[in-house]
């Protein structure tokens, strides 16, 4: 006489999914479902994070760097950024096609959103520029788009810094940026329109 072993997935003898005979298989199916959902969630988060740049408020970054330097004396990235932003440096100013250069081997380039497309064709010392400081003067400037691939001719460029006279967030800057390159660190600061820094 032949013995019939019922299929644990389709067992016509059990009427409930979590009956004692199906319990082990039910656990396996639930665990498999949880694993698939977990992997799907992880891959969705990784896709979102890869496409968007990390945009930080500059004073928060500099303050955290000060604490890191106290704990680890060799930490200097935030110190370099702080020096570029707060100390007097050789600089180039580009506004409405007008170029003014002060000092030899400028490290800073100051511009506004309307002049950023002109940076490609300018004959300035591009290899020394470490930071581009872009001023945002009105809320209509927030509708502009900045193609970061245009900055590839600046071989030593490390930082893109937005200084705004209107309220902005990292999300509003993120929506302005296209062709993000990981070699650029992006920062922003909102300053009052009555101060002239």
Q: What is the chain's pLDDT, residue by residue, as a tens digit (197 residues)? A: 667 666 655 555 555 555 555 567 677 778 888 888 778 777 655 444 455 778 888 888 877 776 565 555 555 677 888 888 888 888 889 887 788 888 888 899 999 888 888 887 777 778 888 999 999 888 888 888 888 888 888 888 999 999 999 998 888 888 888 888 888 889 999 987 554 44
8 A C-beta contact, residue 119 and residue 149? no
- Average pLDDT over the chain, rounded to an integer: 78
Domain ranges of the chain: 1-51, 55-190
Radius of gyration of the chain (CA): 28
Q: Spell out where 20-148 has E strands.
A: 55-57, 91-95, 98-102, 108-112, 131-136, 146-147
Measured distance CA(145)–CA(164) in Å, rounded = 15
Burial of 70-92, coded b for 16+ CB within 10 Å and e otherwise, reads: eeeeeeeebeebbebbeeebebb
> pLDDT tens digits, residue range 52-93?
778 888 888 877 776 565 555 555 677 888 888 888 888 889
Residue-level pLDDT at 163: 92
């Amino acid at each position: 006489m032949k013995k019939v072993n019922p299929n644990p997935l389709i067992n016509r003898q059990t009427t409930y999914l979590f009956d004692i005979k199906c319990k082990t298989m039910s656990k396996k199916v639930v665990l498999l479902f949880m694993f698939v959902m977990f992997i799907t969630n992880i891959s969705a988060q990784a896709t979102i994070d890869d496409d968007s740049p990390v945009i930080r408020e500059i004073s928060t970054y500099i303050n955290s760097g000060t604490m890191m330097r106290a704990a680890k004396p060799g930490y200097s990235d935030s110190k370099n950024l702080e020096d570029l932003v707060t100390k007097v440096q050789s600089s180039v100013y580009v506004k409405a096609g007008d170029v003014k250069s002060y000092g030899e081997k400028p490290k800073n380039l100051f511009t506004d959103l309307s002049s950023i497309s002109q940076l490609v064709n300018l004959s300035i010392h591009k290899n020394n520029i470490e930071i581009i400081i872009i001023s945002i003067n009105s809320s209509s400037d927030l509708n502009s788009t900045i193609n970061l691939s245009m900055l590839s001719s600046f071989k030593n460029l490390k930082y893109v810094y937005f200084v705004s006279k209107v309220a902005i967030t990292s999300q509003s800057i993120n929506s302005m940026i296209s062709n993000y390159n990981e070699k650029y660190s992006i920062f922003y600061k909102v300053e009052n329109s009555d101060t002239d820094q």
